[in-house]
Amino acid sequence: MALIVQKYGGTSVGTVEKIKAVATKVIDSYKKGDRMVVVLSAMAGKTDGLIKLARQVASEPDPREMDVLLATGEQESVALFSMAVKDMGFEAQSMLGFQIAIHTDHIFGRAKINQVETDRILKALDEKKIVAIAGFQGLDEKGDITTLGRGGSDTTAVAIAAAVKADRCEIFKDDVEGIYTTNPDVCPKAKKMDTISYEEMLEMASLGAKVLEIRAVEFAMKYNVPVYVRSTFSDKRGTMVVAETKDMEKVLVSGVAYSKNESRVTIRKVPDRPGIASGIFQPVFESGIVVDMIVQNTSEDGSTDITFTVPKPDFYRTMKLVSQVAQDIGAEKVLGDEDIAKVSIVGVGMRTHAGVANRMFAALAAENINIMMISTSEIKISVVIEAKYLELAVRTLHKTFGLDDETKGE
């Protein structure tokens, strides 16, 4: 008898018919003797709709009230799911973040889970109930409702799985059957992987692959929770996210990830002296803006150019902050560019193979794609390019590193 945590995303519970189909599926597993905990997202479009509503009553909605509002999306789906299960003749109980309790810090809108209490969940399981948990929400020290940030239900599921020591955490997808070598929407020849290591998945997620939330993978890695990503409405084999094995190193590149969410800021002719970088970045960091890549050139005339990337939603704020500093330190000017994209190749095999970067750069050059910035780590290489070349770059790299599924057409 296994203890299984399953998570269904917004599209999987997007209509009442789909909620009933998920209920049937969960009951099937339950009937086989497994103990079932189900984490649900809000019905597709719900969270976006709530955000729109909030913006109609306030230009900058109060963060505490925003979380009270957003948490209702998942409250709705767990209640409907539990009703459906009961209507089919089985016992179910919905649980919200604060009822469990899922303890988080107090940062509304992007709270981090600190600890999950298990008493109520385990008691309900002992009572032979199917437990339906609202994803994406928690409770801070003051007793206020928090939410974990968009896509946060994946994190809820893995955190719950770690806390109750589940045998595995299954993440169900409506539109893909597992984790692919790259987003199949962009590259029709993307291949479904049987397994991927936590570390590779963490890089893929951090570099833009939306299939699993970054923090969910971090939790899984920390607590060694096997995560199985699979399809909601088919029984086809999905992808296991597991600890690295020796076999994985044989593959040079496991996947290609991309992000359109980047923007680039360049400060021209910055005086080249100690303390300048810190002076430039301090106000940016202090405003909570996450800087990704940074490149600084050396120059012979005592000045240098500094280029860095920030998430697109932070672009204008960053330009404003940096323009002020540039003036103060006597830099020539600040340039900004939002028409960029980041493409990355990921693979634990890179650790033990040389020449991967060269192959990547040559493949992009052959397609006349200009590389603006480069960053590397042990298991990934990222480049910034013009946004319009993004899809071409993803497909080119996918092919170059032997990832194309030749059984599939263009």
Name the maximum alpha-carbon separation found in the chain: 79
Q: Which two tokens stand for residue 331?
A: 């830099």
3 state DSSP class of 190: coil
For residues 73 and 178, which CB has a smaller minimum distance to ligand ASP in the complex? 73
The answer to whether residue 255 forms part of the interface with Mg ion (CB under 5 A) is no
Residue 209's binding partner among ligand ASP, Mg ion, ligand ADP, none (Cβ under 5 to 8 angstroms by kind) is ligand ADP
For residues 68 and 374, which CB has a smaller minimum distance to ligand ASP in the complex? 68
Q: Which two tokens stand for residue 198?
A: 């936590």
Q: Which two tokens stand for residue 236?
A: 């086809």
For residues 136 and 315, which CB has a smaller minimum distance to ligand ADP in the complex? 136
Residues in contact with ligand ADP by CB under 6 A are 9-11, 151, 173-176, 179-180, 182-183, 185, 209-211, 255
For residue 111, cis peptide bond before it (omega within 30 degrees of 0): no
* Count of residues that bind Mg ion according to CB under 5 A: 1
For residues 182 and 263, which CB has a smaller minimum distance to ligand ADP in the complex? 182
Residue 316, H or E segment: helix 315-329
For residues 87 and 175, which CB has a smaller minimum distance to ligand ADP in the complex? 175
Instruction: Tell me the closest approach of the beta carbon of residue 34 to ligand ADP, in angstroms.
Output: 21
The answer to whether residue 151 forms part of the interface with Mg ion (CB under 5 A) is yes
By beta carbon distance, the residue nearest ligand ADP is 9
Q: Which one of the spans 105-113, 143-151, 260-268, 345-353 is the region binding Mg ion (CB under 5 A)?
A: 143-151
Instruction: Tell me the closest approach of the beta carbon of residue 399 to ligand ADP, in angstroms.
Output: 16
Q: Which two tokens stand for residue 333?
A: 């000017």
**Contact, 77 vs 16, CB < 8 A?**
no
**Angle between the 315-329 and 276-286 helix axes, to the nearest 10 degrees?**
150
- Cα gap 120→101, rounded to integer Å: 9
Q: Which two tokens stand for residue 2?
A: 């296994």
Residue 381, H or E segment: strand 380-386
Q: Which two tokens stand for residue 27?
A: 């009951």
Instruction: Tell me the closest approach of the beta carbon of residue 183 to Mg ion, in angstroms.
Output: 13
- Cα gap 67→403, rounded to integer Å: 41
- Cα gap 187→404, rounded to integer Å: 9
- CA distances 357 to 114, 187, 197, 257, 263, Å, are 38, 21, 21, 15, 23
Residue 180's binding partner among Mg ion, ligand ASP, ligand ADP, none (Cβ under 5 to 8 angstroms by kind) is ligand ADP
**Contact, 108 vs 46, CB < 8 A?**
no
For residues 10 and 61, which CB has a smaller minimum distance to ligand ADP in the complex? 10
Residue 152's binding partner among ligand ASP, Mg ion, ligand ADP, none (Cβ under 5 to 8 angstroms by kind) is ligand ASP
Q: Using alpha carbons, select from 293, 270, 298 the residue that is nearest to residue 371.
A: 293
For residues 151 and 349, which CB has a smaller minimum distance to ligand ADP in the complex? 151
Residues in contact with ligand ASP by CB under 6 A are 9-10, 41-42, 47, 73, 135-136, 150-153
Residue located via tokens 């929770």: 225
Instruction: Tell me the closest approach of the beta carbon of residue 87 to ligand ADP, in angstroms.
Output: 24
For residues 67 and 170, which CB has a smaller minimum distance to ligand ADP in the complex? 170
Residue 150's binding partner among ligand ADP, ligand ASP, Mg ion, none (Cβ under 5 to 8 angstroms by kind) is ligand ASP
Instruction: Tell me the closest approach of the beta carbon of residue 235 to ligand ADP, in angstroms.
Output: 17
List of residues contacting Mg ion (CB under 5 A)? 151
